[in-house]
Amino acid sequence: MGDLKVFDKFSKKEKLWLVIAAIFIFVAAIDRLVVSPINTRMKQLSQEIKIKEKQLARNLRNLSQKETVSKEYEKYMKYVKKIGSNEEEVARILSAIESLARKSAVYLVDIKPQAPKDIDFYREYVVEVTVEGEMESIVRFLYELNISEQLLRAEKLQINLKEKATSVIKAGIIVTQVLVP
């Protein structure tokens, strides 16, 4: 009650300014405590909606291409699908390398298959090959290797002269093939 007496001592103009100040403080408090958090949350939700819309558009585009991708997948799957056991797959790779060497007129000095490596969803087969021949024959062998239907790849190549007086070259090649089990 004593506080109201102090309020009564103010002039009409001071009371008006005091009420305006109280209203301003009340409005500022409502803004900070209610409106700003709601506005911030709405902006956050709006941004999440935009992200989800972009994801949805990308997923719809992927779904529309599903048939095309499936056809392409089936077309190439015969090249990367594992058909037999690891030993049978290594035998197929060695046979292909030998056939390509004969076709390219290079001499297979050494051929060492390595143990297959499981990587994520596929298996990598590695074979170390040492060949001898003329430079043109070795280049032809590398080309035939890289265009083979088994999708063989020459990963690493080391070339040396067999003898200084001849044009015969000795090449060490790391050949790989990736198959899906």
- Alpha carbons 67 and 62: distance in angstroms, whole number: 10
What's the pLDDT score for residue 173?
94
- State the chain's mean pLDDT as an integer: 87
CB atoms within 10 A of CB 151: 14
- Position 2 pLDDT exceeds 60: no
Q: What is the pLDDT, as a whole number, of residue 122?
A: 84
Residue 178 has pLDDT above 80, yes or no: yes
pLDDT-based confidence at 82, cuts 50/70/90? low
Q: Which residue blocks in 65-168 are alpha helix, DSSP H? A: 66-80, 86-104, 135-146
The residue type of 62 is N
- The whole-number average pLDDT for the span 96-123 is 90
Q: Which of 30-39, 69-78, 105-114, 118-127 is the least confident region? A: 69-78
Measured CA to CA, the distance from residue 100 to residue 129 in angstroms comes to 12
- Tell whether the model's pLDDT for residue 133 goes beyond 70: yes
Query: What pLDDT shows up at residue 3?
Result: 59
Q: Is the pLDDT of residue 25 over 90?
A: yes
Q: From CA 144, how far away is CA 111, in angstroms rounded?
A: 17
Q: What is the pTM of this model?
A: 0.59
Looking at residues 20-35, what average pLDDT do you find? Answer: 90
Strand, coil or helix: what is 104? Answer: helix
